[in-house]
């Protein structure tokens, strides 16, 4: 009986720890349409933070180098809010390499991306 209690307690602690870890909060399959001030509409993941203006050529090149290959003129960028927060923290106190690593990982995970206008 004691063994069962220990097993259950350890399983409960494991689930609690897993549940408390910060993991990405968005899914590219769960999307909605946002409309910018310029009247253009974009489909982005629900919960993602996004730019209010189209990307610049420099941003397109940056995202391509980081692993997001579908960015083009007229697109906006979006990020998982947890990833955006991590990137902001790195920009305030980390190294350039840490920032690049974060972007590359986020691109591989699909937690950052570009969206083209629908209309």
Q: pTM to 2 decimals? A: 0.74
C-alpha span between 22 and 117 (Å, rounded): 31
Q: Where are the beta strands (DSSP E) in the chain?
A: 31-35, 41-45, 49-50, 76-79, 112-115
C-alpha span between 51 and 75 (Å, rounded): 9
C-alpha span between 89 and 99 (Å, rounded): 9
**pLDDT, tens digit, for every residue of 10-67?**
444 333 333 444 555 677 788 999 999 989 999 999 999 999 999 999 999 999 999 9
How large is the angle between the packed helices 96-109 and 81-93, nearest 10 degrees? 170
**Residues with Cβ within 8 Å of residue 92, at least 6 apart in sequence:** none
**pLDDT, tens digit, for every residue of 55-98?**
999 999 999 999 999 999 999 999 999 998 988 888 888 888 99
**Sheet with 49-50, edge to edge strand ranges:** 49-50, 76-79, 112-115
């Amino acid at each position: 009986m004691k063994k069962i209690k220990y097993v259950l307690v350890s399983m409960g602690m494991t689930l609690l720890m897993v549940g408390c870890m910060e993991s990405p909060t968005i899914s590219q399959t769960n999307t909605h349409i946002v409309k910018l001030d310029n009247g253009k509409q974009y489909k982005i993941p629900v919960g993602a933070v996004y730019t209010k203006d189209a990307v610049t050529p420099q941003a397109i090149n940056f995202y391509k180098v980081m692993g997001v290959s579908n960015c083009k003129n007229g697109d906006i960028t979006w990020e998982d809010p947890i990833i955006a927060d991590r990137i902001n923290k790195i920009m305030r106190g980390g190294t350039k390499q840490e920032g690049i690593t974060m972007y590359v990982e986020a691109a591989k995970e699909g937690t950052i991306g570009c969206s083209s206008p629908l209309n």
